[in-house]
A and B are shown apart, each in its own frame.
Chain A
Amino acid sequence: GQQVMQIPQYQHVQEGEDFTTYCNSSTTLSNIQWYKQRPGGHPVFLIQLVKSGEVKKQKRLTFQFGEAKKNSSLHITATQTTDVGTYFCAGGRTGGGNKLTFGTGTQLKVEL
């Protein structure tokens, strides 16, 4: 079946440093979504990418969708303590209905 892997699994950074998480799918995706889950919370939608090579920005967050639509990345510039949490990518598949396959997640810790 479809697998979506993320690296790294954990990342500790000092506040102000940059952070990147990478998402790789075993199959071509129709779209990719990113979610953030705060400690003890539930996943919250951040953004969706649909087009090959698409890049979207939300303030300090930059999201990219690979040319082959099999990988994606999330980059955070100048991390803040409010960025703490686990970031999940989730891929949709053409013909897969409305289902998403969630990645393994990257847990981000930000130290002062």
Chain B
Amino acid sequence: NAGVTQTPKFRILKIGQSMTLQCAQDMNHNYMYWYRQDPGMGLKLIYYSVGAGITDKGEVPNGYNVSRSTTEDFPLRLELAAPSQTSVYFCASSYSMGGGREAETQYFGPGTRLLVL
């Protein structure tokens, strides 16, 4: 299994441009997440999905959009890139059978480093 994969690894955008960060997992996990990590900081949840066709906002959703048409893929769309979106973006996935009280272990991809100039 490749686990969680992300493309691209690194990208430079100009202000106002748009792009899609790709994320895929081959573990048949139902939950997927997008986080951003600013230098020296923790992880902030942008969006998450509990299954194909279902997405919801996290802590910092403004300026981003997501879709989940399949179990495997969870792309993150940036519209009108701004310097404040310069960050490292991590995609993660987890599996939950539902009904549990505890959050399950998350498996992270290698990240996409984005620079907006």
Taking Cβ atoms with an 8 Å cutoff, the residues of A that contact B are 1, 9, 30-31, 33, 41-45, 48, 50, 88, 90, 92-94, 96-105, 107
Instruction: Count B interface residues, CB 8 Å.
Output: 28
Q: Which of A88, A96, A98 has the most CB of B within 10 A?
A: A98
Interface set, chain B 81-109, CB cutoff 8 A to A: 90, 92, 94, 96, 101-109
Q: How far is the CA of A100 from the CA of B33 in the complex (A)?
A: 10
Complex contact A45–B110 (CB within 8 A)? no
Contact partner, A42, options B45, B90, B94, Cβ 8 Å: B90
Distance in Å: Cβ of A26 to nearest Cβ of chain B: 14
Closest 10 CB pairs of A and B: A92-B103, A31-B102, A102-B43, A42-B108, A102-B42, A104-B42, A98-B96, A45-B105, A98-B31, A30-B101
Q: In the complex, which residues of chain B have a beta carbon less than 8 angstroms from the beta carbon of A45?
A: 105-107
Known A30-B101, A94-B101; judge A105-B42 contact (CB<8 A).
yes
